[in-house]
A and B are shown apart, each in its own frame.
Chain A
Amino acid sequence: MKSISERELLVHRPITKLESINFDKDKNPERLMKKKKRPMQEVDASRRSTLGIRVFLKDMCIGFLSNVYNFIMRNVKSQLAHQNSESSDESFYMCAIKFFMEFNRHNGCEIDIVSETFSVKTLHYIQTQLDVYTENLTLDKENPLKWSKRCHVALRAYKELIMTVLELEKSKDTIVRESCNVIKSNMFYVVEYRELPLQLLQCYDEVKFPLSYLKDLVEMVHIFLKMLEHQSAKCRLLLVEKKKRKVRKSKKKKKAEVEKKAEMSETQLEEVWSEIAESVSSAIKGDDPLPSIMPFDPASDTSIDDQRNDAMKRIHHFLHDKQVPEALALLRASREVWPENDLFGSPNITPEDEFLAVREIFFTRIEVPAPDNAAAFNDDNENNNSDEDMQDDDEDEERQMELSKVEEEFKFSVFIKRFSTWKVVRAYGILLRDFQTNSSFINHCIVKMLHRIAWDCAIPAMLFQASIFRTFQRLLNYPGAEESTKTKEMVKFARFVLSKFFQVARNSDKVFAELLFWKSARDAIEVVEGYGSTNQQTKRGTQHVWTEEEEDELKKLFERYKDDENIDLLDSIMEHLSGSRTRQQIVRQLISQGLLSKEQTKKLRKSSSSAAKQKTAWSAEEIEQVVALYNEYKEATDVMGRILDNLTVKRPKKHVIEKLLELGTVTDRKQLRKKRAKKEGTAKKKSKTGKKSGGRFGGDSSEDHEDDLSDDKDESCNETSGESSADETRKPAKIKKGAKNYKYSAIELKAALLKAVQEGHSENVSWIRNELLGIAADRDGEDALDATPIVPLTEAAQRAFDNKTFKRLLKFLGLREPASEQESFWRCPETLLPAQLREMSCILTGALSGDLDMAVEQVGSSTEMENNDGMKEERKSNKKSSRSKRANAVNLESDESSVKSSSSKEKSDSESDLDNEISDKSKRKVDFKKSSSRSRIIRIDSDSDDNDSTAKPLPGTSFSLEEDTDLVVDLNLEKDKSDIDVVPEGNSSNLLEEENEGNPSGDMDVDDNIPVVRKVGKKRVLMLSDDDADEDISYPVRNDLDSLQDQDSSNSTVDKDVPINSRDDRRKKRIRMLESDSD
C-alpha cells in the first residue's frame, strides 16, 4: 500500500477499509486527573537576569538594606497593625522579610541592618499569620490558591528567620548570639511555636499547595529539628511550656496522706527535733556555710503573699527532712524578702531567738507537705488552694477537666515521635518521588526525617508503603545512584527499609497487603510485632472497647431484664455481665447498639435513682444509731470519720450526711467537716453557721444518688487561679457582709430608695414591698425558722437584681444577698420580725407615693433597734472569723499580722506593692509585675552550675528586648521555684461572656463591671465534650441568670471569691478558652 508521500506504507494487520487506517493508534493521551485532585501547578518565576541588571539590583539592595530597611519595615508593620490595610500587603511585607534577610545572610550577614525583623515579635507575627492562613485555607473553599500562596510566602519568611538564626549562631559576637538564643528559646519554649512545623506538615495537601511549598517546608522542618536537637543535647534540662489537660479524680488518697502527716504524734516530733536541734544551733552560729536558696520567684504567677506561705512551708518541710542548712538559709532569705511584721523574725534577731523561731516552725502543723521540686510544688499549690473543696466531703468523686500551662522537661525523642504520623510520611513520600531533580540538600532532609521515623523511633513499618517502594525501585534502578552525592545516602536508606520489610515478610504474609494502606504509628508497630500487640500494652484501650461476645452478652441480658419493672435494669445487667463495667459504660453501649434511646435512658436514670433510694432506705434502728453517734462525737475533730467507723451497717459518707441533714440533727454540712487542729469551741460556731444554709434544696439528695451516672457533681468554683487567696479573703468578706446588712440609717435608706425610684425601679420596689408583706403574713403565726428566699418571677425583676442601686436598696432593707454556693436568691433573714417587715413595706409605699420623709421618720426608731442587733451580730462574726483565721492562716503569724494579712483587698494590694519595692531593692531587675501577668516566660538553663540564684538581667540584647518585648527572660536555672500554672486573667469573665451569648436577656444584663476583652483571631475556643449535656438543657436560662446575678453581687462587694452557684460553674468549665497569646 502506498502512503500519501508516495512511499510504501507498512501495515501489520490486514486493512479492510480505507478509513480504518489510523496513525494515532499508538498515541495514548496522558490521562489527566480530575481537576479537584490535580496537584497544584508550579508557578516559579525566578530566573537569572543579565549581569548588568543583577549588578545594579545588587547595589540597589545593598543601599536599601543599609539605609531604609529597618525604617520602612517598622512603618509598614505599624500600618499593618493599625489601619485596616489590604490583606495582600501582609504578603508583601513577608516577601520583603524573606528576600532581604536572605540577601543579607549571603552578603556578610550584618545583624544591625535587619534588626527590625530579627526579633521574637516578627516570629510571633509570622506564626499568627500562618495560623490565620491555614485556617482560612480550610474555611474559604472558594479560592484556595490565594491562601496557599500567602501560606507559602509566610512560610518562606519563617524559614528565612530560622536560617538567619542558624547563621548568626556562628557569630563571634556574644550579644548577637545572645539574641539568637532568645529567639531560639522562644521558638522551643512556647507550645504554639514548637508545634508549628508539625502542624504545617499535618495540613499539607498536594492539591492545595505547590511542590515548592513542600520543599520549603521540609527544609524548614529539617533546620528546626536540627536546632532543637542540638539545643536539647547541649542543655541538661530544657524547660518547655506545655498545655496540660488534667482530669482530677477523687482526692481521697491525697487527703489520707495529708492526715497521716498531720497526725504525726507529738512524741515523734520531739524525737525528730532532738535529732536536729544540735545541727540547728551549729548552723545558726555559722559553722557550716549555708547554701543560697531563693524564697521568691519573680517569674512565678502565684501572688507574693502565696509565695510567702509557700516559703514557710518549704522551711517546715526542710526541717522535717532534716535538711537544716537549707531551712535556715531559706528562713534568712525570706526574712529579707518579707521584712514586714517580722514574719520570719526581725532583721537583727539574736541567735537564741532564731533558734526558738526555727523550733516554732518545726512544731507547727502544716497540713500540706512542702514540695521538693517544681512539679510537686505546683501540684501542692493547687492542693493547698483547693482546701475549700477538700472540706466538702460530699464531693468524693470529682472529676474536673482543667486546661493549664505547666512547664515540663523537654525530651527530644518524645517530640520526634509525634512526627511519626502517616500524613508526615505521605508528604515526604511525595517529595521523595522527585529525588532526581531535588537538590541534594532536600534529599538529605527527606532521608533524615524518614530515618528519624524508621530508626530513631524504631517504626520502619511506617514506610512500608507501595508508593514509597515504587520510588525506591526507581532509585535503585537509577544508574549511578550510588555514586551521586545526591542519592548516596538515600540508596543506603532504601536498602535498610527494604531489608526490614523482607524480614517482616518472612513471618507475616499480611504485610504485603499492608503496603496498600497508610499506617498510623500504632498500626505500624502492630505490623511488625503482630496484630493486637499494642492493645495488650495499653489497658485503657481495651477497657472501653466492647468485644463482639460482650456485646452479644449485653444484648441477651438486656432482653432478659428489660420488661422486669421491679428490679433495676442496669444493676441486674451489671451483676450478670462477665466483664466489669461501670453503669455509664453499659448505658453508652446500650445506646450505641440501638437498644435504648436517649429518653429511655433518662427514665432509666430516674428509676435507678429511686431504686437506689430504696436500697439505701434507713431502718429505724439505724437512724437512732446515727443520731446517737452524732451526739456522741459532734465535738470530735473528725465527726464523720468517727460516725462512719461506729456504724453497724456501713454506708457511704454522703448518704450519712444526707440522712443527718434530713433528720434535722445537723443544719449544715459544714458542721460535719473535719475541724482544724487548733480549732476550739466548734459548738459555738455551729449555732451560727447553722442559719446560713437552712434553705438547702431538698432536691440535692436525689441528685446525689445519681453520682455514678453523671460524671461531675457539685463543685465549688474556687478551682481557678483567683482562688489562691480564697482562704484569707473569704472570711473578711463575710464580716463586711454582716456589717453591710445591718448598718443603715434612715437617711441612707432614703437616699437609696430615691435613687432606685429615680432610675425607674418603682415597679420592682412595689413588687419587693408585696413580697415583704407576704413574708410578714407567713411569719405572723409562728416563729420563722429559715431565711425566706425572694424569687424574682418576672424578667424585669430579675434584671433589677443585677442592678447596683437596686441591690444597695435591698441591702439597706436588711435583706441578705446570696451567701454561699448553695444559694442563688436574695433572702429575707429569719431575724426580721413581721412587724419590721411591715414597717419596711410602709417605707416603700411612701417612697412610691412620694412622701418619703414621713414614712422614714415613722419607722426611724425601729431601725435603730435593728442597728443594735446588727452590731451584735457583727461582733460575733468577727470573733468567729478571727478564730478560724488563726487556724487557716499559716502558723507563726502573730494575731496582729494575721489580721493584717486578711484585711481588705486594698490593703493586700498595697502590701504587694511594698513587696514589689523590696524586690526591686534587692536588685532583682526582672520586672515582677510584667512577669507575673504574662503567661509566656522563657527559661533558658545555663550549663554553669552557679548557685547564684538571683535573676540576672539580660545583657543588652537590643534586637529583641527593646521596646516592651513581651517576654521576660530568666536566665538562671532554679529547679524548685518555678511553677507556672497559668490561667490567663480575665478568662473567667470571658467564659461568662461566652455563655451569655445564647441568651438574649443575659446579654442585656452584662454589667459594666465585667471586663470583656475580645480579640478575634487570637483566641481559640475549645469545647470540651460533655456526655451529660442533656441534663442541664432543661433549665439553661435560669442558670445563666443565676450565675449573672452571682457574678454581679461578687463584683459589687469587696469579696471577689464569693463562690458562684456550683452548677453554673460546672457549665462554664465546659467551655475553656485559651488565648494563644497573652498580649
Chain B
Amino acid sequence: MASLISAEITATCGSLGYFGGDTYIKDPNCKDSVRDLIKFLKRDDDDFTIRRQIGETRVLLTDLIPILCCSTNDEELFDYALRLLVNLTSPALVVFSGKFPQEVSKRKYYLEIVSHLMSYKQHAFNNEALWAVLTKKLQDIVNLDWENRQVEDSLEMERLLILVRNVLHIPAEDEKRAVDDSSIHDQILWVLHQSGMIDLLLFIAGSKEEQKYCLHILEIITLILREQEPEQLAKTGATRSTSEKEKDEQELLEIRHRENAEKQTKQTMLRTSRHILASEALSTLRT
C-alpha cells in the first residue's frame, strides 16, 4: 500500500514540470497535479503517510517554490500552489489536532513531520525572491479598495498571512550557534525585512480596513520577536555601549575569580597534611 502511495505521489510530483535554472518549465498537467496533491493531502490517513511522503520528495523545495516565483501571471496556478504551501507548512501540532501524540509510532511520525518543516524553513523559505513575489501579491490586495476586493482576494490575503505565520512558527533547529551569529530564524527575518514584508505587515496592522486580520498580525509579530529579549533589544544601539562592555567584563572577571578560587580549594583538598607540612617546611627553609 505504502509503495503504491509512494509511486502515485512520485508520479504526480514528476508531472509538475521542472526548474530550468531561472524559469520553471511547466508540464501541461502542472495545474492538475498541484490540485491532485491538495486532494491527496485531504485524504490523508491517521499516520499522515501522504504528508510524510510529500515531505520526503522535497517537492516543496524543488517545484512548488519555483512555481510560485514564476507563475505571477497565472492567477489560478498561483492560488493552488499557495494553498498547497499553506497546507504543507502547517504546524505539526495543528496537524495532530492540537495534541502531542502519546503512542511511540505516532510520536515518531510527529518528529518526522517536524524535521520536514525544519528543512523547509532552512532551505525553501530562506529565499528572497520568493518573499518579494509574496509581498508584491499581498501589496496588490491591500491596495485594492473594499469595493473591488473579491472574496477570493481576502481569502488569498489570509492565506498569505497564514503562510508567514506558519513559516515563522516552525521551531528552531537544534543548532549550536554562537550568541551573535544569526540563526535560521534570523535569516528568515532578514529576508522578510529585505523584501519589505515586515513593513507591509505593520501597515496592515495599523489600517482600519484590515481590522479582522489583527489577530494574525499580532501572532506574526510575537513570533518575529520570539527569540528576543526586550531589554536587550531596546538597548541595542548602533554600537555596543560602554556600560554594556563594562558589564560583560565584570562578568568575565567574576567567573575568572571563581575559577581561581575553585582551583585553590581543589588543591588544598588534594594536599594531605604531610604535603602541607612539607611545603611549610620548604617555605620556612626558603626564608
Contacts and interface: CB of A to CB of B under 8 A. Distances in A.
Interface residues of A, number: 46
B231 A93 contact: no
Contacts of B270: none
Interface in A28-80: 45-58, 60-61, 63-64, 67-68, 71-72, 75-76, 79
Given A68-B205, A480-B261, A484-B254, A99 B222 contact: yes
Nearest to B102: A142
Interface string B213-226: 01101110110111
B193 A56 contact: yes
B1 interface: no
B10 to A, nearest CB: 36
Given A89-B215, A92-B219, A63 B186 contact: no
Contacts of A49: 180, 182-183, 186, 227-228
B172 A45 contact: yes
Interface in B144-202: 172, 177, 179-183, 186, 189-190, 193, 198, 202
B257 interface: yes
Interface stretch (A102-110, A526-534, A858-866): A102-110
B227 A89 contact: no
Contact of A92 (B198, B222, B236): B222
Contacts of A538: none
Contacts, number: 127
Interface in B78-113: 99-100
Contacts of A85: 215
Nearest to B261: A479
A43 B114 CA distance: 17
A95 interface: yes
20 contacts: A47-B179, A48-B180, A48-B232, A49-B228, A52-B190, A56-B189, A58-B236, A72-B217, A75-B214, A76-B214, A76-B218, A79-B215, A92-B218, A92-B222, A103-B233, A107-B234, A145-B100, A479-B261, A479-B265, A483-B257
Interface in A82-98: 85, 89, 92-93, 95-96, 98
A758 interface: no
Interface string A451-483: 000000000000000000000000000011001
Interface of A: 45-58, 60-61, 63-64, 67-68, 71-72, 75-76, 79, 85, 89, 92-93, 95-96, 98-100, 102-107, 143, 145, 479-480, 483-484
A79 B216 CA distance: 12
Contact of B206 (A52, A67, A92, A95): A67
Contacts of A95: 222
B211 interface: yes
A104 B231 CA distance: 9
A66 to B, nearest CB: 10
A1030 to B, nearest CB: 45
Given A49-B186, A92-B219, 20 more contacts: A45-B226, A47-B179, A48-B229, A49-B180, A49-B182, A51-B236, A54-B232, A54-B236, A56-B189, A57-B233, A61-B234, A67-B202, A76-B214, A89-B218, A96-B218, A103-B230, A106-B231, A143-B99, A145-B100, A484-B254
The 8 tightest CB contacts between A and B, nearest first, are A479-B261, A106-B234, A68-B206, A102-B230, A107-B234, A103-B230, A50-B182, A75-B214
B214 A79 contact: yes
A67 B199 CA distance: 12
B101 to A, nearest CB: 12
B36 interface: no
Main secondary structure of the interface of A (DSSP, over half): helix
Contacts of A104: 234
B233 A54 contact: yes
Instruction: Kindly state the interface size class of chain B when it binds its partner.
Output: 35 or more
A53 B229 contact: no
Contact of B262 (A61, A93, A98, A479): A479
Contacts of B42: none
Interface of B: 99-100, 172, 177, 179-183, 186, 189-190, 193, 198, 202, 205-206, 211, 214-215, 217-219, 221-222, 224-236, 238, 254, 257-258, 261-262, 264-265
Contacts of A484: 254, 257-258
Nearest to A477: B265
What DSSP secondary structure best describes chain B's contact surface? helix
Contacts of A75: 211, 214
B186 A53 contact: yes
A57 B217 contact: no
Contact of A53 (B190, B205, B206): B190
A605 to B, nearest CB: 55
Nearest to A49: B186
Nearest to B217: A72
Contact of B205 (A72, A93, A100): A72
B142 to A, nearest CB: 15
A58 B233 contact: yes
Contacts of A96: 218, 221-222
B179 A48 contact: yes
Nearest to A68: B206
Contacts of A103: 230-231, 233-234
B193 A479 contact: no
A58 B180 CA distance: 16
Given A72-B214, A85-B215, A99 B238 contact: no
B215 A57 contact: no
Residue in B218, B224, B230, B254 with the greatest tally of chain A CB atoms within 10 Å:
B230
Given A54-B236, A106-B231, A61 B218 contact: no
Instruction: Find the residue from B205, B214, B238 having the highest chain A CB count within 10 A.
Output: B214
B74 to A, nearest CB: 33
A68 B221 CA distance: 12
B162 to A, nearest CB: 13
B235 to A, nearest CB: 6
A46 B219 CA distance: 17
A528 B109 CA distance: 59
A122 to B, nearest CB: 15
Contacts of A99: 222, 225, 228, 230
Contacts of A98: 230
A491 to B, nearest CB: 14
Nearest to B206: A68
Contacts of B183: 47, 49
A64 B202 contact: yes
Given A92-B222, A106-B231, A479-B264, A55 B236 contact: yes
B258 A480 contact: yes
Contacts of A51: 180, 236
B214 A53 contact: no
Contacts of A102: 230-231, 234
A369 to B, nearest CB: 59
Nearest to A80: B215
Nearest to B182: A50
Contacts of A54: 228, 232-233, 236
A79 B100 CA distance: 28
Contacts of A64: 202, 205, 221
A55 B225 CA distance: 13
Contacts of A92: 215, 218-219, 222
A150 to B, nearest CB: 14
B234 to A, nearest CB: 4
Contacts of B257: 480, 483-484
A50 B227 CA distance: 12
Most B CB within 10 A of own CB, among A53, A71, A145: A53
A143 to B, nearest CB: 7
Nearest to A44: B227
A71 B172 CA distance: 31
